[in-house]
Structure 1
């Protein structure tokens, strides 16, 4: 499974429960799969692999955010990884932080340990 380690100072020294599938918000008039493909490109700098995609459904996160994930069998070239960034304000100062600081291929048992808890239920829905 392809996972991204979350960027920013909060996640810098964490490993377990600090990884996520690339994800983001659906914009107005956008279909969920289109949003997932756009977010994948924005967060990784890698072109989304061709489908077909499997809709893994939705899970409510601890934050209250509803996350929907899609799966595809693919082997994208991770050397093209160029993280997207977001602006963080801390101590009155704003700075750019990578959304993900690295990507890794992870076996499913290890993914269950690394993923943020709210995304672990998606693992059981992956096609076998």
Structure 2
């Protein structure tokens, strides 16, 4: 069975502008990458209910809880076969107060030393056009589906 991830696409309307909340992955590989690097807050799960996993992952990656009327989006499939289940929800998230969990990896490579990095190093709100440039290409359909749902 392919790996599965669950995530949340938070959105808000400011004036007549639809914005989405995205996170930037932490760690040395992503440090200097911007376009095509951002993501919805998401993570892998096994036996857990996918919406519960999405809420848990959101909190782990942002340090903030999320609630509201969650609308399921069509699952997307990565080239490696991983399936991402996502929900859209209207929310106000403080992008300046993100406190992510950490992961460890060998760094520098082949050094035998382990370093700890934030899973998410920053977050922000983007209008739809900008978000489609910032987000990893496989997740663009999530933004397009939300925009269509919102009549944008």
Q: Give the TM-score of the pair, scaled to structure 1.
A: 0.92
CA distance, structure 2, for counterparts of residue 2 and residue 59 of structure 1: 18
Match of 1:82 in 2: 99
Task: Quote the residue 2:45 is aligned against.
Answer: 26
Deviation per CA, 1:39-85: give whole Å up to 9, x if none: 0000110111x221011121111332211111101112234310111
Q: Tell me the equivalent position of 1:104.
A: 124
Q: Note the residue ranges of structure 2 that are not aligned, 5 or more in a row.
A: 1-19
Aligned to 1:35: 53
Shift, 1:17, TM fit: 0.5
Aligned pairs (5 A) from 1:1-128: 1-28=20-47, 30-48=48-66, 50-89=67-106, 90-91=109-110, 92-126=112-146, 127-128=149-150
The DSSP-based 3-state class of the residue aligned with 1:19 is coil
- Deviations along 1:87-113, one digit per CA (max 9) or x if unpaired, are 212322222111111000000100000
Q: Give the length in aligned residue pairs.
A: 126
TM-score by length of 2: 0.78
Structure 1, unmatched stretches of 5+, are: none
Give 1 or 2: higher strand fraction. Answer: 2
CA-atom RMSD in angstroms: 1.2
